[in-house]
């Protein structure tokens, strides 16, 4: 539903709700997925699972009993907070509206505090960008911070100067996410030891942009091994300005470690299946790591892009390789949210190939028999010298590999109640609030994104 239609919808609800609950409405409005950018998050509440979030400000502070009445009227959860209206405290309520994407039988929305004793394994998702990396981006390269999620929703035609803003703003988020995810993957003995037995680790990154995630991969590998392996990287992007800035950035990262890293920067735009096939044929190594961060959702006109990309490029995946696809969790103009599409498309590829999901672990256990429209999400908090406190980044990712390798990695996987959707609450605590439908009868909470060391 577009914003105008959503607004009209709430206009029709506000009056009868006010009559039923006997409280006067001061103002009402809507938040749609288009608004979920950098500023909305901290001051408003977004109700997951629905087409949009509606809000109503009452002219007084309402009691719990009145909130319960609102819930009864709407037949759904209602979230409330106190706000200051011209010097007096009044209540603002939020509720999901329009189409409900998460059927209640597929994802539970009950909260599970992270401090729960029955929770084992949790990925730490708060990160401060290392000072030396921060310094390269902000001091040496003159990166500036200017979040603008609408402008940076498509990055194929950014200029060199815009790319500098991208790097210091969004590239730093990708750095943080990739550093956390890669460090967790390499901490697993099966992955670590199989890669250390190789004389060289081959990496391919598609939609590499200004190099945020690639820089973090180089850092994670150099930190994890006493004698880091040689890295050979094929970095592919359709924007030459992004690639030029990336080259400058990565050269500085590599020289910090004096690391043995060889990078080929390839300017290649994918606009058709043929372009994807061409990419798979240009990439003539077997890759230990194939990544794509926040790029595939930019190629919106391409039907089943997650499926087609993974199918084409996995022909180049090493026996002990990992294919890691990460994307933002928006819906854009697509019929579904990206995580739902990614899940549907990658599990259908799994069923017809030798690939198997490594992460989320619940998908490793259940993908073969899963048809749920499942919305997964991890939220990362990234802080650096240019943002006031931290940036909140909402992404979803799936890592896959060949079956035998994935089974070796997961040789001691415990059963549990796998949390596949996470969010930070207002106190800065990360909470699992979406449970894999296939694990609902289990009692021990486990972060579906956390890979144990083994
Ligand atoms: C959101 S940026 C992500 C950059 C980097 N992976 C990161 O996370 O910081 C998306 C990148 O994908 C590239 N891209 C978008 N559409 C593309 C296409 N059709 N072919 C090749 N690259 C594309 C853009 O040029 C941009 O650099």
Whole-number Å distance, alpha carbon 238 to ligand 1 midpoint, is: 7
| Ligand 1 midpoint to CA 242 (Å) | 9
CA distances, 327 to each of 76, 153, 160, 220, 256 (Å): 29, 12, 23, 20, 29
User: In this structure, which residue's CA is closest to atom 1 in ligand 1?
Assistant: 294
Query: Model confidence at 35, in pLDDT bands (50, 70, 90)?
Result: low
What is the rounded average pLDDT of the residues 102-119?
Answer: 37
- Tell me the pLDDT band of 48, cut-offs 50, 70 and 90: low
Question: What pLDDT does 42 receive?
Answer: 43
Confidence bin at 39 (pLDDT 50/70/90): very low
List C-alpha distances in Å: 429 to 174, 345, 375, 385, 423: 21, 32, 21, 22, 8
- Look at ligand 1, atom 23, and give the residue with the nearest C-alpha: 238
pLDDT of res. 34 = 57
Please report, rounded to a whole number, the percentage of residues in the chain having pLDDT higher than 90: 67
Average pLDDT, the chain: 88
Q: How far apart are CA 51 and CA 98, in angstroms?
A: 5
More confident residue, 454 or 451: 451
Nearest CA to ligand 1 atom 17: 238
Quick check: CB of 294 below 6 Å from ligand 1?
A: yes
* Kind of pairing between the strands at 317-328 and 391-402: antiparallel
Candidates 155, 178, 268: which one to mutate for ligand 1, based on the most atoms within 8 Å of Cβ?
155
Candidates 295, 301, 306, 395: which one to mutate for ligand 1, based on the most atoms within 8 Å of Cβ?
Answer: 295
DSSP 112: B
292 or 426, which is more confident: 292
Find the mean pLDDT for residues 292-313: 93
Interhelix angle 338-351/305-313, nearest 10 degrees: 40
Low-confidence winner among 154-168, 253-267, 397-411, 416-430 (lowest mean pLDDT): 416-430
- What is the value of pTM for the model shown? 0.81
Interval 133-154 mean pLDDT: 95
Residues 118 and 98 sit within 8 Å (Cβ to Cβ): no
CA-nearest residue, atom 25 of ligand 1 = 156
pLDDT of residue 378: 95
Q: Which ligand 1 atom is at minimum distance from the Cα of 178?
A: 8
With a 6 Å cutoff on the Cβ, whether 174 touches ligand 1 is: yes
Give the nearest ligand 1 atom to 174 CA.
8
Least confident among 49-63, 244-258, 350-364, 395-409: 49-63
With a 6 Å cutoff on the Cβ, whether 297 touches ligand 1 is no
Q: Which residues are CB-contacts of 269 (< 8 A; sequence separation ≥ 6)?
A: 156, 238, 275
Ligand 1 in reach of 66 Cβ (< 6 A): no
Confidence of residue 454 (pLDDT cuts 50, 70, 90): low
Between residues 52 and 317, the one the model is more confident about: 317
Of 325 and 149, which is predicted with more confidence? 325
CA of 34 to the centre of ligand 1 (A): 20
Question: How do the domains of the chain map onto residue ranges?
Answer: 3-100, 119-447
- Residue pLDDT, tens place only, 53-91: 889 999 999 998 899 999 889 888 888 888 888 888 999
Q: Are 224 and 259 in contact (CB under 8 A)?
A: no
Q: Ligand 1 pocket test: which of 168, 237, 243, 253 has the largest number of ligand atoms within 8 Å of its C-beta? A: 237
pLDDT at 424 over 60: yes
- Band the pLDDT of 107: cuts 50, 70, 90: very low
The Cα 374–Cα 106 span in angstroms is 7
Distance 98 CA to ligand 1 centre (A): 32
Q: Is 246 in the pocket of ligand 1 (CB under 6 A)?
A: no
d(CA 282, CA 265) in angstroms, rounded, equals 12
Nearest CA to ligand 1 atom 27: 209
* Nearest CA among 125, 119, 183, 81 for reference residue 424: 125
Give me the pLDDT at residue 112, please.
33
Judged by phi (left if over 0) then psi (alpha if -120 to 50, else beta), residue 250 lies in alpha
Three-class HEC string of 289-354: EEEEECCHHHCCCCCCHHHHHHHHHHHHEEEEEEEEEEEECCCCCCCCCHHHHHHHHHHHHHHCCC
Q: Over range 356-374, report the average pLDDT.
A: 95
> What gap in Å lies between CA 382 and CA 393, rounded to an integer?
8
The closest-lying atom of ligand 1 relative to the alpha carbon of residue 291 is 6
Query: Taking residues 432-439, what's their average pLDDT?
Result: 89
CA 196 to centroid of ligand 1, rounded, Å: 30
Residue nearest to atom 4 of ligand 1 (CA): 209
The domain 119-447 is classified under which CATH number: 3.40.710.10, 3.40.50.970, 3.40.50.150, 3.30.465.10? 3.40.50.150
158 contact partners, CB below 8 Å, separation of at least 6: 152, 166, 239, 241, 242
């Amino acid at each position: 539903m577009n914003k105008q239609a959503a607004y009209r919808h709430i206009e029709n609800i506000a009056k009868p709700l006010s009559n039923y609950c006997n409280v006067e409405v001061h103002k009402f409005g809507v938040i749609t997925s288009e608004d979920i950018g950098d500023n909305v998050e901290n001051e408003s509440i977004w109700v997951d699972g629905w087409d949009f979030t509606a809000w109503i400000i009452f002219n007084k502070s309402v009691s719990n009993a009145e909130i319960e009445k609102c819930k009864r009227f709407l037949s759904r959860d209602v979230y409330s907070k106190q706000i200051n209206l011209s010097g007096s405290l009044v209540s603002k309520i939020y509720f999901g509206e329009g189409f409900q994407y998460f059927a209640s039988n597929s994802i539970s929305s009950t909260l599970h505090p992270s401090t729960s004793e029955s929770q084992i394994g949790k990925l730490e998702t708060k990160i401060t960008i290392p000072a030396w990396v921060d310094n390269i981006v902000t001091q040496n390269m003159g990166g500036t911070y200017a979040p603008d999620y609408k402008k940076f929703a498509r990055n194929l035609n950014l200029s060199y100067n815009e790319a500098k803003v991208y790097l210091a703003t969004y590239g730093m988020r990708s750095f943080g996410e990739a550093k956390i995810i890669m460090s967790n993957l390499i901490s697993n003995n099966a992955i670590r030891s199989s890669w250390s037995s190789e004389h060289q680790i081959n990496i391919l990154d598609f939609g590499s942009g200004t190099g945020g995630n690639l820089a973090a991969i180089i850092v994670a590998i150099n930190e994890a091994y006493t004698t880091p392996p040689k890295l050979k990287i094929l970095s592919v992007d359709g924007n030459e300005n992004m690639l030029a800035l990336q080259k400058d950035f990565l050269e500085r990262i590599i020289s910090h470690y004096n690391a043995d890293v060889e990078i080929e920067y390839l300017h290649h735009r994918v606009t058709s299946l043929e372009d994807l096939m061409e990419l798979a044929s240009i990439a003539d190594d077997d890759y230990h790591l194939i990544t794509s961060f926040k790029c595939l959702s930019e190629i919106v006109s391409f039907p089943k892009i997650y499926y087609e990309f993974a199918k084409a490029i996995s022909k180049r995946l090493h026996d002990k390789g990992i294919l890691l696809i990460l994307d933002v969790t928006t819906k854009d103009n697509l019929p579904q949210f990206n995580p739902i599409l990614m899940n549907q498309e990658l599990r259908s590829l799994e069923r017809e190939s030798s690939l198997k999901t490594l992460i989320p672990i619940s998908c490793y256990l259940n993908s073969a028999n899963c048809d749920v429209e499942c919305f997964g999400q991890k939220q990362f908090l990234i802080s650096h010298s240019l943002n006031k406190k931290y940036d909140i980044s909402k992404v979803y990712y799936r890592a896959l590999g060949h079956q035998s390798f994935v089974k070796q990695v997961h040789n001691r996987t415990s059963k549990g109640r796998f949390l596949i959707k996470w969010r930070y609450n207002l106190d800065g605590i990360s909470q699992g609030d979406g449970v894999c439908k296939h694990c609902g009868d289990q009692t021990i909470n486990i972060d579906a994104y956390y890979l144990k060391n083994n």
